[in-house]
A and B are shown apart, each in its own frame.
Chain A
């Protein structure tokens, strides 16, 4: 079974602080997706990273794919209460498979 580990599992920070969430595996992925899930809703795609070393920015969120395509990070600058939610990474193997492997998630609480 492929394993995708996320850390930390829980994070409680004050508004305005910075944070980084990590997603690690021993497997090489063709791409990695990041989702955010808010209470009572399904996960919503934030970004897909495809190329090793790729960096993508989405406002205050910065996503990086490791050079070897085995790991990824999500960095949030000046966190806001609206960033509160469950962040999930999901690894893909591309055209040879329909499956995504999801990490167990990082639950983020940003206190006002």
Chain B
């Protein structure tokens, strides 16, 4: 089974801090994704990566950046955290071959910005 591991289940940070969320997958998947999940809004794509050092903006990239230095690891960075970035963050991975491929999700990081 694919295992997607997010480094923290819960995280509390202060406004203005630089925040790093880490995600590791163990199945050699080409694609990795970062979403945020808010009540009533579903999952919204922040960034995705289809190869090492390659990234593309999703639907809500403002205030975020990403890093993919190794195939198995995809990091989400909040450059200067703000209270409206309080949310559940989900990482996912999938094989290459387009969006028909199923995505495998981690258990999420619940981030609170005070």
Query: Do A and B come from the same complex?
Result: yes
A interface residues (Cβ-Cβ under 8 A, vs B): 1, 9, 30-31, 33, 40-45, 48, 50, 88, 90, 92-100, 102-105
Q: How would residues 48 to 91 of chain B score, 1 for a CB under 8 Å from any chain A CB and 0 otherwise? A: 10100000101100000000000000000000000000000010
Nearest chain-A residue to B103 (Cβ)? A100
> Shortest beta-carbon distance, B67 to chain A, in Å?
18
5 sample A-B contacts, Cβ–Cβ < 8 Å, listed by A number: A30-B100, A42-B108, A97-B99, A98-B48, A100-B103
> Shortest beta-carbon distance, B36 to chain A, in Å?
11
Q: Does B43 contact A (CB under 8 A)?
A: yes
| Contacting pair B99 A94 (CB below 8 A) | yes
| Contacting pair A100 B105 (CB below 8 A) | no
- Which one of A1, A33, A42, A99 has the highest number of Cβ atoms from chain B below 10 Å of its Cβ? A42
Closest 3 CB pairs of A and B: A42-B105, A92-B99, A95-B98
From A33, A41, A99, give the contact of B48 (CB < 8 A): A99
Interface of chain B residues 8 through 55 with chain A (CB within 8 A): 31, 35, 40-45, 48, 50
| Contacting pair B43 A102 (CB below 8 A) | yes
From B41, B100, B105, give the contact of A50 (CB < 8 A): B100
Q: Which residues of A contact B100 (CB under 8 A)?
A: 30-31, 48, 50, 92, 94-95
Q: Which residues of A contact B50 (CB under 8 A)?
A: 98
Q: Which residues of A contact B48 (CB under 8 A)?
A: 98-99
| Contacting pair B103 A99 (CB below 8 A) | no
Having A42-B106, A98-B98, A104-B42, one finds 6 other A-B pairs with CB under 8 Å, namely A30-B99, A41-B107, A42-B4, A95-B97, A100-B103, A102-B35
Q: How far is the CA of A1 from the CA of B76 in the complex (A)?
A: 23
- Which one of A1, A30, A100 has the highest number of Cβ atoms from chain B below 10 Å of its Cβ? A100
CB within 8 Å for A94 and B43 given contacts A42-B4, A42-B105: no
| Contacting pair A105 B42 (CB below 8 A) | yes
Nearest chain-B residue to A38 (Cβ)? B107
